[in-house]
Amino acid sequence: MAAAPKKSWIVASDVADRDRIGIELWIEGDLVLEIFRDDTRRTREVTLYRKEIPLELVEEAIARFKGDIPRDFVD
């Protein structure tokens, strides 16, 4: 049986180009997806960096985002 790929979760912010905070999912050192709350545009966005991502990983990412990132936008 093959070992499960190594996943890393990072809470990240970007204030240089954007006013955002969110989470990133890295698998085996590759960025797979990110979910960010953009306080300037008052949006929440998902960016996928792989063509195909198992639904279970997307659901896990959304749950982590909701648990780790405050829902309210910052003015």
SS3 content of the chain, % helix, strand, coil (to 5): 20, 40, 40
Q: What are phi and psi of 72, to 5 degrees?
A: -70, 140
pLDDT in tens, 32-44: 999 999 988 899 9
Amino acid, res. 38:
D
**Choice between 8 and 17, residue whose per-residue pLDDT is larger:** 8
pLDDT at 18: 66
Question: For residue 17, is pLDDT > 80?
Answer: no
Question: For residue 20, is pLDDT > 90?
Answer: no
pTM tops 0.85, yes or no:
no
